[in-house]
Amino acid sequence: EWTIDMTGQMSPSKRSSFWETKRVFFVTPQVLEKDIKS
């Protein structure tokens, strides 16, 4: 599957791997901001 729904309840390390393997992301603005900063 190419999509993922990522929320703040998912650990940052787990989200990190999804950024590399998925193509379509459904995220909150807060998650996106935190992941860009890290």
pLDDT of residue 10: 94
* pLDDT tens for each residue of 2-19: 999 999 999 999 999 999
pLDDT of residue 17: 94
Rounded to whole angstroms, how far apart are CA atoms 38 and 36? 6
Rounded to whole angstroms, how far apart are CA atoms 28 and 32? 6
**What global pTM score does this model have?**
0.75
pLDDT of residue 18: 96
Residue 29 CB partners (closer than 8 Å, separation 6+): none
Model confidence band, residue 26 (pLDDT cutoffs 50, 70, 90): very high
Rounded to whole angstroms, how far apart are CA atoms 9 and 12? 9
pLDDT of residue 34: 95
